[in-house]
Amino acid sequence: MEKPILPFTFLITLLPLLSNAQILPSPNQQFIGINYGRQGSNLPSAYETIETLKAMQVSRVKIYDSDHEFLKLLSGTSIRVTIMVPDDDIPDIASNQSAANRWVHDNVLAFLPGTMIRGVLVGNEILSDSRAQSLSYQVVPAMRNIKKSLNNHNIHNIKVGTPVAMDIVETSFPPSLGRFRGDIPREEILLPLLNFLNRTRSYFFLDVYPYFSWSENPHNISLDFALLREGNQTAAAVDPTTGLAYTNLLDPMLDSVVFAMQQLGFNDIRIAISETGWPTSGDLDQPGANLYNAAAYNRNLVRKIMANPPVGTPARPGVPIPTFVFSLYNENLKTGPGTERHWGILAADGKPVYELNLNGTVPESEYPPLPEPANNVPYQGNVWCVVASGVRIFDLGPAVDFACAAGNGTCDALAPGSDCYEPVSVVSHANYAFSSFWARFRSHGANCHFNGLATMTTVDPSHGACKVPSVCV
């Protein structure tokens, strides 16, 4: 999943939208697919998942590896699949054509033609991972070797690319000022990547999340704008350089990449959305993460992408944008903020979290109503990090030890005779340790998760002389 993009402020004005010519797509260019991640402890089997995909009439699916069981079970279905080269495999494939040939043989050729593999993505958001800088230089060589191996077998209908996050551009408004980040080497990485995509007629695969941009700046960006609600066609954010008018938050994000590519001389590389979506739940300091907004965003997204003729974006009117929604399931093993575990349109048991039709034919009025959200305004007040409900007591010990080992006085108040030593309770001590750790290290990236053992609360767990540290959000 992408990192949040740099904040920006929109120039909002009232202006009729520019009329644009439409370009009809070929049928295989315009689709909504879905991402199938498996970082969950209790997810349905591969067989059950495929049956669910068929029942949902999903035409495309993207996975984060090349799971052989899943690919074998897809054989004979009409579902097209995009697979991924794991980060760890990139160095060998980049430096050795024989390694690329083996990978293609084992993960592509072994399943053709019964399984309709239509994409191979090399790595996942490599250009956004500061810990994977060396891999950044190896992504394009690996892509070249994969493509060469496919060509040697006369396979030309599989697109090869790599997903990038929105933080690849320095700003996304106004879109005409879109530029790739200055710290990404132009000659060694950017130009080789764009040359490869242009030469092979592949896509610039982009992970793009309006939710992150809105939730970081909810007072200056309209929620309706972020949710792709375009009922008022005269209200637009206007690019002062081009005069292009934007009625939703997704389009300027996409067009900023279009202009960034044009700035380097590449005018024709198409964009595909490899991930987008909206979370159904999150932490108290993550506004707007709820069922109502997630359903609204994804339903509006489907209507936009599946429109016939296609809508495109203001900079590329009528150009279809292949799109994968994130994601199929909620994944309870993902780390990080609460939203990370709540992007699924299905719960872990396979039941819908909310109704979503992916073919674009269901009007909003036919969906069942959802409760109005209560967290669209950022919470302001004190928050504590405490033991989550249903947690097994004997699982807390290692987590408390981890928090206390961080030092910086994190658990001094838990020492015998100190204010928070009593009651001598595992849960009470864990509540203090979790909250104290989070309060001290939140500015360094710590979150209230502790492998699923903790949750945020507005209820102060302090008692007597024991004052449990809190975070003000």
Helix (H, G, I), strand (E, B) or coil at 219: coil
Cα–Cα distances (Å) from 220 to 4, 11, 24, 203, 215, in that order, read 16, 10, 36, 32, 10
List, for residues 188-225, the tens digit of each pLDDT value.
999 999 999 999 999 999 999 999 999 988 888 899 99
Q: pLDDT higher for 464 or 63? A: 63
408 confidence band (pLDDT: 50, 70, 90): confident
Q: Which of 103-107, 266-270, 338-342 has the lowest mean pLDDT?
A: 338-342
What residue has token string 């990978």? 103
Helix axes 97-107, 139-152, angle to 10 degrees: 60
For 361, residues 6+ apart whose C-beta sits below 8 A from its C-beta are none
Tell if the pTM clears 0.85, that is, is over it: no
Tell me phi and psi for residue 99, to 5 degrees: -65, -40
List, for residues 351-399, the tens digit of each pLDDT value.
999 999 998 778 888 899 888 888 887 777 888 999 988 888 889 999 9
- Give the pLDDT confidence score for residue 234 in this predicted structure: 53
Q: pLDDT higher for 234 or 335? A: 335
Which H/E stretch holds residue 105?
helix 97-107
In this predicted structure, the answer to whether residue 25 has a pLDDT above a threshold of 60 is: no
Active site residue 2: no
1 confidence band (pLDDT: 50, 70, 90): low
Per DSSP, helices labelled H in 344-463 are 396-405, 426-441
Cα–Cα distances (Å) from 7 to 184, 275, 379, in that order, read 19, 20, 19
In this predicted structure, the answer to whether residue 289 has a pLDDT above a threshold of 80 is: yes
- Give the pLDDT confidence score for residue 380 in this predicted structure: 78
List, for residues 419-447, the tens digit of each pLDDT value.
999 999 999 999 999 999 999 998 777 88
Tell me which residue of 407, 458, 463 sits closest to 436, measured CA to CA.
Answer: 407
In this predicted structure, the answer to whether residue 23 has a pLDDT above a threshold of 70 is: no
Active site residue 331: no
294 confidence band (pLDDT: 50, 70, 90): very high
What residue has token string 């996050």? 165
User: Are residues 309 and 241 in contact, defined by beta-carbon separation less than 8 angstroms?
Assistant: no
Q: Which of 35-39, 250-254, 287-291, 469-473 has the lowest mean pLDDT?
A: 469-473
User: Are residues 100 and 93 in contact, defined by beta-carbon separation less than 8 angstroms?
Assistant: yes
Q: Which of 2, 230, 275, 340 is catalytic?
A: 275
List, for residues 103-146, the tens digit of each pLDDT value.
999 999 999 999 999 999 999 999 987 667 789 999 999 999 99
Tell me which residue of 379, 385, 355, 359 sits closest to 367, measured CA to CA.
Answer: 355
* Pair type for strands 316-317 and 245-246: unpaired
Q: Which of 99-103, 142-146, 308-312 has the lowest mean pLDDT?
A: 308-312
- Cis amide linkage into residue 423, ω under 30° from 0: yes
Which H/E stretch holds residue 50?
helix 46-55
- Give the pLDDT confidence score for residue 232 in this predicted structure: 56
Q: Which of 61-75, 329-343, 362-376 has the lowest mean pLDDT?
A: 362-376
- Give the pLDDT confidence score for residue 22 in this predicted structure: 32
**Average pLDDT across the chain, whole number:** 89
What are the chain's domains?
Answer: 32-58+162-366 (3.20.20.80), 382-472 (no CATH)
Q: Which of 125, 230, 331, 340 is catalytic?
A: 125
Write 139-142 long-range contacts (CB < 8 A, 24+).
139/90, 139/94, 139/189, 139/193, 140/189, 140/192, 140/193, 140/196, 141/94, 141/95, 142/85, 142/90, 142/93, 142/94, 142/100
What residue has token string 């928050």? 383
Q: pLDDT higher for 279 or 335? A: 279
- Give the pLDDT confidence score for residue 5 in this predicted structure: 41
* Pair type for strands 312-313 and 316-317: antiparallel
Q: Report the percentage of the chain scoring pLDDT > 70.
A: 92
Q: Which two tokens stand for residue 155?
A: 């396979």
Q: Left, alpha or beta for 79 (phi > 0: left; psi -120 to 50: alpha)?
A: beta
In DSSP terms, which residues pair with 205 in a beta bridge?
272
- Give the pLDDT confidence score for residue 235 in this predicted structure: 63
Q: Which of 178-192, 320-334, 383-397 has the lowest mean pLDDT?
A: 383-397
Beta-strand ranges (E) seen in 277-431 are 312-313, 316-317, 323-325, 382-387
